[in-house]
Amino acid sequence: MNKPTNRVFSGVQPTGNLHLGNYLGAIRNFVGLQESHECLYCVVDMHAITVWQDPAELAANTREVAAAYIAAGIDPEKHIIFNQSGVPAHAELAWVLNCVARIGWLNRMTQFKDKAGKDREKASVGLYAYPVLMAADILVYQATHVPVGEDQKQHLELARDVAQKFNNDFAVPDFFPQPEPLIMGAATRVMSLRDGTKKMSKSDPSDLSRITMKDSAEDIAKKIRKAQTDPDPLPETVEGLAGRAGADNLVGIYAALADKTKAEVLAEFGGRQFGEFKPVLADLAIERLSPITGEMKRLMDDPGHIDAVLRNGAVRARAIADPIMARVREIVGFI
Ligand code: TYM
């Protein structure tokens, strides 16, 4: 079997409230990798159900993520867009890898600790095993590169450890590649607009904390206007952003949207007040996001088309995963 050297895999959970962090930290980078890589972009519906999802909403949110992929510029003909539950090999490999990964490894996962909160005993078993399913997502395609935001770094380290332990335990050196994280751009960790020390997230109770991919131009302008900052003008240098989380966040967002570095943005805006900077940022955000949100709306009006894209993608994904999974079965000793 020929091993790929430039296969990209990544995923987004269909849990609603797709936001600017998902776009800048992940989806936008997915688009850029299409020229140089063979890409599989997954809507990870099986990950979503690790916390309760209303079934009708899960289906709608799955279509929404698929629409965001397409609207952002991923070509579903040249590359593969599909939903995770459409390819049973993810779940099958996850079980095998559950038996390779160690409890101690999972106990160190900070995302589980955050999501499970104080009442860990009541979290689903799926939430705990979540990173192993994520490793399976990547390894079932022998993917080599994984574009993600900063918050997924620890999960990718686990995927690398699982790959290596499988290769060692079964004496199949290099069977699973060591997937490489691609954490790219000026906004690898977009923060909440209400609190610059907290990550922008789908589950924050405050709508003002995030710009979503459904927001109108007015919503975007309002959220940026209300974004938490401080009374000082923008600093002249990146060092001057230290200890100013809200300011740092807005400069990072501007930099990512404008394809600039933070230093370049500060060279332009250093010394100006937020009252001046925020409307310019709002205009840029609207200019970049509105075509995508508009196209998403158009696509969402034709769910049949999205479902066809996902089904077609799943067939093509299965064609890659099935032979790799068949080899895993042999390696493990399943007859
Ligand atoms: P999810 O659905 O939480 O987020 C999707 C992608 O968006 C990135 N992201 C952010 N980037 C910058 N700033 C933020 N505030 C921000 N919030 C989210 C995430 O890093 C991610 O890249 N476990 C994954 C989904 C997944 C996956 C995979 C990813 C499942 N299997 C295999 C890669 C490979 C997750 O929950 O992403």
- For the record, the structure tokens of 152 come out as 């997924």
Q: In terms of pTM, does the model score above 0.75?
A: yes
- pLDDT more than 70, % of the chain: 99
Q: What is the pLDDT of residue 1?
A: 58
> Is 207-297 CATH 1.10.240.10?
yes
Mutation probe of ligand 1 site: the residue of 31, 90, 151, 253 with most atoms within 8 A of C-beta? 151
Question: 80, exposed or middle or buried, with CB in 10 Å at 0-12, 13-18, 19+?
Answer: buried
Element holding 206 (H helix, E strand) = none
- What is the CA(152)–ligand 1 centre distance, in A? 6
Mean pLDDT within 95-104: 98
The CATH 3.40.50.620 domain(s) of the chain lie at 7-188+302-332
Ligand 1 within 6 A of CB of 134: yes
165, 202, 222, 260: which one is catalytic?
A: 202
Which whole number is the average pLDDT over 214-235? 96
**Which pLDDT band holds residue 83 (cuts at 50, 70, 90)?**
very high
> What is the Å distance from ligand 1's center to 276 Cα?
32
Distance CA 52, CA 158 (A): 25
The candidate with the shortest Cα–Cα distance to 211, out of 17, 14, 29, is: 17
**Tokens 């939903």 belong to residue:** 83
Contacts of 176 (CB under 8 A, 6+ apart): 139, 142, 163, 164, 166, 167
Ligand 1 centroid, distance to 133 Cα (angstroms) = 14
In this prediction, residue 36 has a pLDDT band, given cuts at 50, 70 and 90, of very high
Q: Among 300, 319, 221, 235, which residue's Cα sits nearest to residue 272?
A: 235
Q: Which range among 2-11, 35-44, 218-227, 254-263 shows the weakest confidence by mean pLDDT?
A: 2-11
According to the model, what pLDDT value does residue 3 have? 82
Q: What is the mean pLDDT of the chain?
A: 97
Portions of the chain given CATH number 1.10.240.10: 207-297
115 is catalytic: yes
Topology (CATH level 3) of domain 7-188+302-332: Rossmann fold (3.40.50)
Mean pLDDT of 170-185: 96
d(CA 61, CA 102): 32
pLDDT reported for residue 4: 85
Integer Cα distance of 240 and 224 in angstroms: 21
pLDDT surpasses 70 at 327: yes
pLDDT of residue 68 exceeding 80, the answer is yes
Other CB atoms within 10 Å distance of the CB of residue 168: 11
Q: pLDDT-derived band of residue 326, with 50, 70 and 90 as boundaries?
A: very high
Of 131-135, 157-161, 184-188, 324-328, the poorest mean pLDDT is in 184-188
Q: For 294-333, b where at least 16 C-beta lie within 10 A, e where not — what string?
A: ebbeebbeeeeebeebbebbbebbbebbeebbeebeebee
| SS3 of residue 180 by DSSP | strand
46, 14 in Cβ contact below 8 A? no
**Ligand 1 pocket, 185 CB below 6 A?**
no
| Mean pLDDT within 283-287 | 98
Question: What are the percentages of helix, strand and coil residues in the chain, rounded to 5?
Answer: 60, 10, 35
Q: What is the pLDDT of residues 244-257, one digit of tens each?
A: 999 999 999 999 99
Does the beta carbon of 45 sit less than 6 angstroms from any atom of ligand 1?
no
Question: Is 214 labeled as catalytic in the residue annotation?
Answer: no
What percentage of the chain carries pLDDT values higher than 90?
96
* Residue with CA nearest ligand 1 atom 33: 10
Tell me whether strands 38-43 and 7-12 are parallel, antiparallel or unpaired.
parallel
